[in-house]
Chains A and B, each alone.
Chain A
Amino acid sequence: MLILECPYCGVVADETDLHGGGEAHLKRFGPGSSDEDFQTYLFHRANPKGVHFERWRHVSGCGKWFHAARNTMTLEVYGTYSAQTYEPPKAIINAVIKKHPEWEGYK
């Protein structure tokens, strides 16, 4: 039962107020894309043991989607941030590196 702070309304929300949406920062491939790109977009998802970037929606709250940087093993949350980004912000990356200097980084 996680708790995540919604960056839009500031509420520290219980997992039962939230809805998980899987891997964050996917790039959409539409008509004209190669079969390979489209297949990756549609089906391939990272499932790391450790640092992970995820989409969550504050479904019973303000209704906004946001992103969370989370450790899938320890459940530590490095931070939550806007869904309107193409990649994790610097502050989040730094928070992860501070805890895990050996972390291979966001690709």
Chain B
Amino acid sequence: MSTRLAKGGRLIDRTKPKNFTFNGKRMKGYEGDTLAAALLGEDQMLVGRSFKYHRPRGIVASGAEEPNALVNMGQGGRFEPNQRVTTTELFDGLTCTSQNHWPSLEFDVGVINNYAARFLPAGFYYKTFMAPAPAWKHVFEPIIRKSAGLGKVPTEADLDRYEHFYHHTDVLVVGGGVAGLAAALAAGRSGAKVLVMEQTHHWGGRAPVDGGEIDGLSPEDWINATLAELEGMDSVTLRTRMMGSGVYDHGYALGYERVADHTPGDDRPRHRLWRIRAQQIVTATGSIERPLSFAGNDIPGVMLAAAVRDYAVNWGVSVGDRTVVVTNNDDAYRTALVLKEAGLDVPVILDARDQATGPLAEAARAAGIRVEVGKAIAKVNGGKRVTGVSICSQSGEGSAVEDIACDAVAMSGGWSPVVHLWSHCGGKLIWDEAQSHFRPDPDRAPTGHDGQPFVVTAGAASGAMGLADVLSDAYEAGKQAAKAAGGKAVRKAGPKADPEATQPMAPVWIMPQGAGHQKRMKMWLDYQNDVKVSDVQLAAREGYESVEHTKRYTTLGMATDQGKLSNINGLAVLSDALGQPIPATGTTTFRPPYTPISFGAIAGEARHEIFQPIRRTPMHQWHEDAGAYMEPVGHWRRPYCYAKPGETNEQAVHREVLNTREKLGLLDASTLGKLIVKGPDAGKFLDMMYTNMMSNLAVGKCRYGLMCSENGFLSDDGVVARIDEDTWLCHTTSGGADRIYAWMEEWLQTEWWDWKVYVANITEQLAQVAVVGPNARKLLEKLGGMDVSKETLPFMQWKDGKIGDFDARVYRISFSGELSYEIAVPASQGRAFWDKLLEAGEEFGVMPYGTECLHIMRAEKGFIMIGDETDGTVIPQDLGLNWAISKKKEDFLGKRAQLRSHMTDPDRWKLVGLETLDGSVLPDGAYAVAEGNNEYGQRNMIGRVTSTYYSPTLKKGIAMGLVKHGPDRMGEVLDFPTVDGSSTVIKARICDPVFYDKDGEKQNV
């Protein structure tokens, strides 16, 4: 059984116990524990079930590479699935539950898949769920959905906050092991600005576990002395609990800081995503031990040899009383020695190599440990827990020569550098034959904006093995990065360790090398996704030659651990099956993040009310206080209508229409875009921007204008006012202000840069109110100030002056067909102006109205709306707006395109009015159909509805639509089938789109 040792554990504080629960069971650990260490300390070896076969799964590793031990963490608003216990710091009150089983971890029905494993080979889904087609929807998909996914989906809103932090540095060092610290030392000594990040909460990585001496000090003492020196440098920032998540273009890197995962609810942001720009990046990301592929290598109790050592040294936890060590290299002997030192039993070290002659092997023998060379594990015995191993010769087919009882197996297949960050942005790898791993090729580093390399690897991440090589490689990397980032030359010597003699490792991809199919079906490559040696071999037989295809076919390396343990073994097996060397197979692509990061961290501050910017007019608060139903218009929120108590929104809209037509309405029109265009060439410029002529507009007058893209399509509209000899004010749609401002700037800066024109976007400088209705003039006259009579201020003119006490610019323009003034005042006085209008307007029956009332009134008048009548494929000619297209101008944006054959096609759908025969309202977007079908067997269509409303004024449905040859078919009745499943066809007659006051008598008074 796994247990807490009586002594030891360099990272834990035994005076500070921490209580937690696993599947409801109360457990205890210590401050400094990871959840993994605490679970093992409580003999909780079984922690989950695998994805496909629901096999029992235990902890395999001690760090970020852990594939198995994922749990549901926390509760309520702090619940999160798939949390890796090896990277979770223990805290008081932690609760977690195991995943992927039903009804319980100990007894799981899904394990039936395990017994059916031989019927669930690689590509099972692709091969099985192909036919009949309806079975997918009704049979296969529901079953697969039910069994898909690890963990539970959170059901409550996240209680925590998250944030981003932008940081600029000369040198970024990822990894705070001895390599990272040595690199940081070199960079820091150069005077460069340095950021060092370490993913765990302790510095020094695995050096204190592995031992040795640095500059005559124990690793622990050297780490402390080095930290003291780095902390003394102002230019160096040290951060723990921060993982290098990804390296991107031009020195961009993401650091994932887990600020408060271990102190939930302490009001700090849970995670902080550092968005870093570094001149140079040093990846001191260490290396990961590889598992060995032998039958039963997934049974709980089989662990990586270095992890077994970590649990003993760092946390004082023994994984088993009797641990068999199986290896192809010297390093695993350290585990045997550590266990022996702790008073635990190591019945045998199985070394797959033909001999074991290194100093570590000698030390093991000297410690009285039995060492068997040329030996392998034939199979592991046990179900939910290791009970023993059968051993065999590595060179044979696996006939057991001896059974050895044990409760843990420590395996080591050699070490692979963590090359992820190096590879994210294009760093290339080379195959190292001696170490049987891919390591970064220093000659093919990722390059930055200047074409120069910006990533350098340090220590084990470079492929350096042994303390001496790690330190010298890392210090050199730090120096190199600092120099490239513009730091001073570093003369001071770096840290040193004595080289150690080691015996070369021997590559072992399956164990024993001649294992038959039965054994290969039990050799796990990918623990989480249940991919075995036999699956990869099957894929190769079925013709999957590309490693990327094999990955997707077998799901090898596609689990949440992204194949940190499985990939190299998998491609070695694939290469062998394909009969080619490993470098010819290559690796799959390494993509960020290094380990999964939270959605919260990615979103940062963008949550709840600050999920996105909401734009508010100066009168916004009044609208909200009045209970307006708000609708989004771009990022603006505008009142749709102001429903009174007991009124539906529809009733409110109808009341607003009638009140405005009969008495007086107020619209907050502040969102309308307002652009000042000024300069000697402003007229010429506006003649290019608009389809109609603007240069000849008289000062004091207004003109409705259309803007098109170079494709000819109608893009925006609005009223233009000539302010003075060289100044125009252009109104745009509410959603179009920023876009049209940018559009004007683009043409001025990139095409007509010699034209003297300046543009300013003053949309938000002004609050604008439309005062609309037969009583509009009475209200303004009551307020006093400027003369707003028909004679002084006729329709389509504007004037500056006073309305009451307010400095105002008043436009006689109308989007409703009524007598209407649009009045602009400084935004700071917008609310006061609005209040004043309401107060003074009471005797005239004033009521505010919203956007829906505006829409209905303009539709009654047959005015088009950008976004309703247009959709990016409609030209002004389609809308009967030829009167607004200048024939005199040689050029304007869109003119050339409107001459293309498709644009002049007489068959284009054109704008008409539509009235239903029964007075009902046509469905929005409904299509008019003609006889017959098109080449795809679909009903022929000849038109569609673009705007449709119930007109309270006319007491019937009115609509506009685009219809083939529409204007030539006045009075014709069209069929509009509904799409509600009934076979109803609505009949509507083509009519003039102007339904109300065709002669414009009401607005021109």
Contact = CB atoms under 8 A, between A and B. Distances in A.
- Asked if A and B form a direct contact in the complex, defined as CB atoms under 8 angstroms apart, the reply is yes
Given A1-B248, A2-B250, A31 B745 contact: no
A32 B889 CA distance: 13
A29 B894 CA distance: 11
Contacts of B742: 57, 59
Contact of A42 (B250, B252, B711): B711
Interface string B796-825: 000000000000000000000000000000
A55 B750 contact: yes
Interface in B437-466: 447-451
A35 B899 CA distance: 10
Nearest to A64: B749
B541 interface: no
B896 interface: yes
A87 interface: no
A63 B744 CA distance: 12
A42 B746 contact: no
B451 A31 contact: no
Interface in B696-746: 710-711, 742, 745-746
Nearest to B753: A84
Interface string A1-42: 111100000000010000001000000111111010010001
A55 B746 CA distance: 11
B751 A28 contact: yes
B900 to A, nearest CB: 7
A28 B688 CA distance: 13
Contact of B896 (A14, A21, A30, A99): A30
Interface in B746-764: 746, 749-751, 753
B749 A1 contact: no
A18 to B, nearest CB: 12
A31 B250 contact: no
Contact of A75 (B249, B710, B895): B249
Given A2-B249, A75-B249, A76-B451, A84 B896 contact: no
B753 A14 contact: no
Contact of B746 (A31, A65, A71): A65
A55 B745 CA distance: 14
A1 B247 CA distance: 10
Contacts of A29: 896
Contacts of A2: 249-250, 449
A36 B750 CA distance: 23
B497 interface: no
Contacts of B448: 75-76
B451 A99 contact: yes
Contacts of A1: 248-250, 252
- Interface size on A, as a range, is 20 to 34
Contacts of A77: 449-450
B252 to A, nearest CB: 4
Contacts of B944: none
Contact of B900 (A30, A35, A99): A35
A38 B895 CA distance: 11
A64 B750 CA distance: 9
Interface in B866-904: 890-891, 895-897, 899-900
Contacts of B449: 2-4, 75-77
Nearest to B895: A31
B277 interface: yes
Interface in B228-268: 248-252
Contacts of B751: 28
Interface in A66-96: 71, 74-77, 83-84
Given A38-B896, A74-B451, A77-B449, A63 B249 contact: no
Nearest to A1: B252
Nearest to B748: A65
Interface string B413-452: 0000000000000000000000000000000000111110
A107 B757 CA distance: 31
B921 to A, nearest CB: 39
A36 to B, nearest CB: 12
Contact of A74 (B248, B447, B900): B447
A42 B897 contact: yes
Contacts of A75: 249-250, 447-449
A83 B711 contact: no
Given A14-B277, A29-B896, A76-B450, A65 B750 contact: yes
A71 B753 CA distance: 27
Contacts of A14: 277
Nearest to B710: A42
Contacts of B450: 76-77
A51 to B, nearest CB: 12
Interface string B610-654: 000000000000000000000000000000000000000000000
Contacts of B750: 55, 65, 83-84
B248 A30 contact: no
A75 B84 CA distance: 36
Contacts of A30: 891, 895-896
B211 to A, nearest CB: 41
Contacts of A65: 745-746, 749-750
B451 A57 contact: no
Nearest to B745: A63
Contact of B891 (A3, A31, A42, A74): A31
A57 B743 CA distance: 12
B896 A3 contact: no
A22 B710 CA distance: 15
Contacts of A55: 750
A89 to B, nearest CB: 15
Contacts of A33: 896
Nearest to B712: A42
A99 B449 CA distance: 13
Contacts of A42: 710-711, 897
A66 B663 CA distance: 53
A24 to B, nearest CB: 9
A57 B249 contact: no
A42 B324 CA distance: 72
A105 to B, nearest CB: 19
Contacts of A76: 447-451
Residue with the highest number of chain A CB atoms closer than 10 Å, among B248, B450, B451, B891: B451
Contacts of B749: 64-65, 83-84
Contacts of A31: 890-891, 895-896, 899
Nearest to B890: A31
B721 to A, nearest CB: 24
A75 B451 CA distance: 8
B340 to A, nearest CB: 51
A63 B741 CA distance: 11
Nearest to B749: A65
A28 B252 CA distance: 36
Nearest to A19: B742
Contacts of B896: 29-33, 38
B279 to A, nearest CB: 11
17 contacts: A1-B248, A1-B250, A4-B449, A21-B746, A28-B751, A29-B896, A30-B895, A31-B895, A31-B896, A38-B897, A38-B900, A55-B750, A65-B745, A65-B749, A74-B451, A75-B447, A83-B753
Interface of A: 1-4, 14, 21, 28-33, 35, 38, 42, 55, 57, 59, 63-65, 71, 74-77, 83-84, 99
For the complex of A and B, the 5 pairs showing the least CB-CB separation, nearest first, are A76-B451, A1-B252, A84-B753, A65-B749, A77-B449
Given A77-B450, A83-B749, A83-B753, 13 more contacts: A2-B249, A2-B250, A3-B250, A3-B252, A35-B900, A38-B900, A59-B742, A63-B745, A65-B750, A71-B451, A75-B447, A76-B447, A76-B451
